Amino acid sequence: MAARDPAPAGASPWPRRLAVFAGLLAAWFVLTRPWLYGGMTVPWDAEAHFRPQMAFLAHAIHSGESFLWNPWIFAGWPQIADPQSLIFVPAFFVLALVHPDPGAVAMDATVFAMLGLGGLALAGHLRDRAVHPAAAALAALAFAFGGSAAWRLQHTGQVLSLALLPIVWFLLARALDRRSIALGLAAGLAAGFLAVGRDQIALLGLYWLIGWTLVELLSGERPAARIARALPQLGAGALGGALVVAVPVVLTLLLAAASNRPEIDFDGAGKGSLPPHALISAAIADLFGQGAPDVDFWGPPSAAFGITDVYLAQNMGAIYTGALPVLALLLLGLARGGVLMKGLRFQSLALLLFVLYAVGWYTPVFGWMYEFLPGVKLYRRPADATFLIGFSLAVVGALLLDRWLKDEFAPPGRLARLLQAAILVVVFAVLPVAFGLRAASLPLVWKPLATAIVFSLLAGATLLAARALSARGAVAASALLVIAFTTVDLAWNNAPNESTAYPTATFAALDTDTTDPVMVFLERKVAATTSPTRRDRVELAGVGFHWPNAGMVHGLEHTLGYNPLRIREYAEATGAIDHVAIPEQKTWSPLNPSYDALLDDMLGLRWIATGVPVEKIDPKLAPGRLVEVARFPAIPGLGKAPGRPETFVYENPRALPRVLFVDAARPADFAEITATGRWPDGFDPRREVLIEGAVPNPGRDADAEPAGRAALAAWHNGEVVIDVDAARPGYVVLFDAWHPWWRAEVDGRPAPLAKADVLFRAVAVDAGRHRIRMTFHPFAGALADLRAGALRR
């Protein structure tokens, strides 16, 4: 059972609770002000990837469209199965329900609100366990505004998974303490939403929760009886979790199996390891210039530091959670053995394991985890465990502060004092100077080192003052002192920087009412050429980091996009990789070696915007094959925030209509066509269709014009209606991406939907007039996939 710390006789605890809550709320407003009121927004993935996802969801809901299929990227994408779609994130789904067009501020506010709730849940759990209010408040702030939660804000999905972890812990612990089935069910539902984050933070968080539950039930007397008493709550939790995770996780596993990355090999994962040297950032914020606008990053990994075999953004090694928790860990936890005290052992071990996981291939431990822990092979970057390092530092630091404030440490002996001095010298002198010498950057060490020393001295003074206040019964005052110092500490050392905050105007191209001339021009061109047979696609190559998913905001169908996942067959056929932020990221394939390729014509790629002249991206392109139709001057950046380069827009006059009727067909081996880049001899998609496997109605030879026509009667996210008038039997070909979860009807009766021309869809029709309806059915499709897989086994 949880311990309690009753208030003094006759005193109500509510004034103290309200004072601490008010302090935390004030700290939240101070620490979020640059984003919510200061004209800044979280950049990089938050804007380039997640804000368009949010826009797609909100626009679909408020326009009555389906949000299950996303037509705006990669010629069509199963959005419901995408682990980063935000569909299964309650906070963002609610935002999409209430806001028809959420922008940057709404996105950021939702993320910070979730981090704030997570911090409050963490503080609430610690208070349930009789942890001192000052220590609980420290945990809340260090968790919500420290470590990767502060430095990697752009990874929106992972931040939200982190925010849910203490909420699950709070509910689970209360369910066990109070033997409440209702709370057990609530904990299971929350754990389910954590799991459907489907990222590495969710995986590690669930392992941590399992470990904590086992320790909680097996420690103390009569563990068998404790387990028996907990079974109803755990059963309710399992039921709640299963209700949430079953569908989205199955959908994502099926998507992963058909994707470009169903599993990451050890070498691929190891390249995302955190160099151990970066751990010093827990004590010295921004030592390596991760956030300093006037310093070129010189820490690991970088050529300056001599580590170039791993691939991490510079902010991924920043884990500063505040001077108080780190000083408590160094001086009380390590030098005085606090990490081995009862109640801290599991948390200390968890912190150590998260560190060993994060450093990846630099120790053998991650190799064992990679081989034996289910789920680890699905992820490419063990350094993502820095999120959990921040969580554990907040918890361990708070528990050590609690013991300090309650005077539970014996007076330090000579050995403990020597250890404390040695640790401080190593961390705040030897290591930073050695790192500066290694990278020939010693002059850059002194400013962040001096700052760290000042804040550490102030943290030490705060520790002494908070204990003195607490000893006199001024518990609320000690908590407010800790809150005030930690707020100043995190506001200064985890201040907005080039990794976490750019002026909101930087991302004006993502506003639905944007005035960016490139986006306005493309919207007008696409609208002007849309007809019952045409829906022209665009490609944005090398225009900027936040441009590839902009079509999701503006209703432009993009042949590419920004997503670490792609359908494997589409990626292999088109050469699409996860991003085209810079010209060098535009890649080609055997089947799509140039903008002059037949595949681009079939995709209906008509408008191409590039950040450099197109011949620099496509050296194989013959003169005159694309027509330059517009050129727009560069827009300068704001500070270190990037602008838009001079942008060139080209027209591909050979782009095919979206829908065609053809009355000739022949079988083909799509894998061979993709691998060799060679279409069958004489193939013309305007006259015939290629069908994988046997062709039941091959029709005539492809000599004359097809005897029929097809036109779009309706086109929606998850539904396409086509009218056809055919003089002879044939096929209606739709140049949208084929996926097994699409279904077809002809005149209201189910009909086979064939994979056609490597990537697209086709339906056979008899002579006469017909109406074809294609609809997206992910749940029935996934069930059919599972049944087919079971039969194959």
pLDDT tens per residue, range 410-428: 899 999 999 999 999 999 9
Distance CA 770, CA 682 (A): 29
Distance CA 389, CA 366 (A): 15
* Residue in this structure with the two tokens 């949010």, named with its chain if needed: 54
Q: Looking at the structure, tell me whether residues 181 and 256 fall in a common domain.
A: yes
The three-class DSSP label of residue 749 is strand
Structure tokens at 758: 């490597």
Distance CA 178, CA 191 (A): 19
The three-class DSSP label of residue 689 is strand
Number of neighbouring beta carbons within 10 Å of residue 453: 15
Query: What is the identity of the amino acid at 661?
Result: F
Residue 392 has pLDDT above 90, yes or no: yes
Residue 261 has pLDDT above 80, yes or no: no
Q: Looking at the structure, tell me whether residues 464 and 539 fall in a common domain.
A: no
Number of domains in the chain: 3
Please give the backbone phi and psi of residue 502, each rounded to the nearest 5 degrees, phi first. -125, 155
Host H or E run for residue 521: helix 517-529
Torsion of CA 344, 349, 352, 356, to 10 degrees: -160
- Cβ pair 733, 757 in contact under 8 A: yes
Confidence of residue 140 (pLDDT cuts 50, 70, 90): very high
- Orientation of helix 51-63 relative to helix 90-98, angle to 10°: 50
pLDDT tens per residue, range 59-91: 999 999 999 999 999 999 999 999 999 999 999
Distance CA 177, CA 766 (A): 68
Q: What is the pLDDT of residue 1?
A: 37
- Cβ pair 161, 400 in contact under 8 A: no
Confidence of residue 2 (pLDDT cuts 50, 70, 90): very low
Q: Looking at the structure, tell me whether residues 699 and 583 fall in a common domain.
A: no
Which residue, 471, 500, 529, sits at the end of a domain? Answer: 500
Distance CA 624, CA 101 (A): 40
Q: What is the pLDDT of residue 264?
A: 83
Residue 791 has pLDDT above 80, yes or no: no
pLDDT tens per residue, range 358-382: 999 999 999 999 999 999 998 989 9
Q: What is the pLDDT of residue 699?
A: 59
Host H or E run for residue 668: strand 665-668
Q: Does residue 151 form part of some domain?
A: yes
Q: Looking at the structure, tell me whether residues 496 and 508 fall in a common domain.
A: no
pLDDT tens per residue, range 149-188: 999 999 999 999 999 999 999 999 999 999 999 999 999 9
Q: What is the pLDDT of residue 15?
A: 86
Confidence of residue 617 (pLDDT cuts 50, 70, 90): very high
- Cβ pair 715, 704 in contact under 8 A: no
Average pLDDT for 437-460: 97
Distance CA 403, CA 389 (A): 21
Could you tell me the sign of the dihedral formed by the alpha carbons of 347, 174, 214, 210, in that order?
negative
- Cβ pair 459, 327 in contact under 8 A: yes
Could you tell me the sign of the dihedral formed by the alpha carbons of 436, 437, 440, 442, in that order?
positive
Q: What is the pLDDT of residue 498?
A: 87
Distance CA 388, CA 359 (A): 13
Q: Does residue 726 form part of some domain?
A: yes
The three-class DSSP label of residue 760 is strand
How does the average pLDDT of the chain come out, rounded?
Answer: 94
* Residue in this structure with the two tokens 């001077």, named with its chain if needed: 323
What proportion of the chain, given as a percentage, has pLDDT over 90?
Answer: 91
Q: What is the pLDDT of residue 14?
A: 84
- Cβ pair 610, 650 in contact under 8 A: yes
Q: Looking at the structure, tell me whether residues 527 and 492 fall in a common domain.
A: no
Sequence-distant (6+) residues with CB within 8 A of 314 are 288, 289, 290, 297, 299, 302, 499
Instruction: Please report, for residues 22, 656, 698, the alpha-carbon distance to residue 713 in angstroms, rounded to integers and kept in the order given.
Output: 58, 18, 26
Query: What is the identity of the amino acid at 150?
Result: A
Q: Does residue 372 form part of some domain?
A: yes
Residue 3 has pLDDT above 70, yes or no: no
The three-class DSSP label of residue 513 is coil
pLDDT tens per residue, range 470-520: 999 999 999 999 999 999 999 999 999 989 999 999 999 999 999 999 999
Q: What is the pLDDT of residue 445?
A: 97
* Residue in this structure with the two tokens 């210039």, named with its chain if needed: 289
Sequence-distant (6+) residues with CB within 8 A of 204 are 354, 357, 384, 385, 388
Q: What is the pLDDT of residue 221?
A: 84
Distance CA 168, CA 124 (A): 12
Q: Looking at the structure, tell me whether residues 265 and 243 fall in a common domain.
A: yes
Which of 603, 616, 618 has the alpha carbon at shortest distance from 645? 616
Q: How many residues does the chain have?
A: 793
Q: Does residue 621 form part of some domain?
A: yes
Torsional class of 74: left (φ above 0), alpha (ψ -120 to 50), beta (otherwise): left
pLDDT tens per residue, range 685-739: 999 999 987 776 665 655 567 789 999 999 999 999 999 999 999 999 999 999 9
Torsion of CA 550, 555, 558, 564, to 10 degrees: 50
Q: Does residue 6 form part of some domain?
A: no
Which residue, 500, 515, 545, sits at the end of a domain? Answer: 500
Number of neighbouring beta carbons within 10 Å of residue 265: 10
Confidence of residue 790 (pLDDT cuts 50, 70, 90): low
Q: What is the pLDDT of residue 785?
A: 93
Q: What is the pLDDT of residue 758?
A: 98
- Domain span at 739: 659-792
Q: Does residue 77 form part of some domain?
A: yes
- Orientation of helix 386-405 relative to helix 345-358, angle to 10°: 150
Q: Looking at the structure, tell me whether residues 416 and 518 fall in a common domain.
A: no
Structure tokens at 172: 């689970």
The three-class DSSP label of residue 370 is helix
Q: What is the pLDDT of residue 291?
A: 86
Q: What is the pLDDT of residue 293?
A: 81
Average pLDDT for 27-33: 98
- Cβ pair 197, 160 in contact under 8 A: yes
Q: What is the pLDDT of residue 6?
A: 43
Q: Looking at the structure, tell me whether residues 598 and 702 fall in a common domain.
A: no
Q: Does residue 4 form part of some domain?
A: no
> DSSP 3-state helix, strand, coil percentages of the chain (rounded to 5)?
50, 10, 35
CA within 13 Å, CB half, 742: 28
- Cβ pair 756, 731 in contact under 8 A: yes
The three-class DSSP label of residue 721 is strand
Partners of 499 in the beta sheet? none
Q: Looking at the structure, tell me whether residues 305 and 233 fall in a common domain.
A: yes
- 10 Å CB burial of residue 460 (0-12, 13-18, 19+) is middle
Distance CA 32, CA 24 (A): 12
Q: Does residue 12 form part of some domain?
A: no
Please give the backbone phi and psi of residue 721, each rounded to the nearest 5 degrees, phi first. -115, 130
Average pLDDT for 265-277: 95
Q: Looking at the structure, tell me whether residues 320 and 366 fall in a common domain.
A: yes
The 8-class DSSP code of residue 330 comes to: I
Supply the pTM of this predicted model.
0.94
Q: Looking at the structure, tell me whether residues 438 and 315 fall in a common domain.
A: yes
pLDDT tens per residue, range 293-345: 889 999 999 999 999 999 999 999 999 999 999 999 999 999 999 999 999 99
Number of neighbouring beta carbons within 10 Å of residue 222: 9
Which of 758, 719, 427, 779 has the alpha carbon at shortest distance from 589? 758
- Cβ pair 534, 39 in contact under 8 A: no
The 8-class DSSP code of residue 372 comes to: H
Distance CA 477, CA 618 (A): 66
Residue 788 has pLDDT above 90, yes or no: no
Sequence-distant (6+) residues with CB within 8 A of 435 are 277, 280, 287, 288, 299, 305, 445
Q: Looking at the structure, tell me whether residues 492 and 513 fall in a common domain.
A: no
Rg, the chain, Cα only: 29
Please give the backbone phi and psi of residue 145, each rounded to the nearest 5 degrees, phi first. -130, 20
Distance CA 703, CA 700 (A): 8
* Residue in this structure with the two tokens 């169908």, named with its chain if needed: 557
Average pLDDT for 254-260: 92
Which residue, 621, 651, 681, sits at the end of a domain? Answer: 651
Q: Is the peptide bond before 301 cis (omega within 30 degrees of 0)?
A: yes
pLDDT tens per residue, range 547-589: 999 999 999 999 999 999 999 999 999 999 999 999 999 999 9
Number of neighbouring beta carbons within 10 Å of residue 704: 10
- Cβ pair 151, 162 in contact under 8 A: no
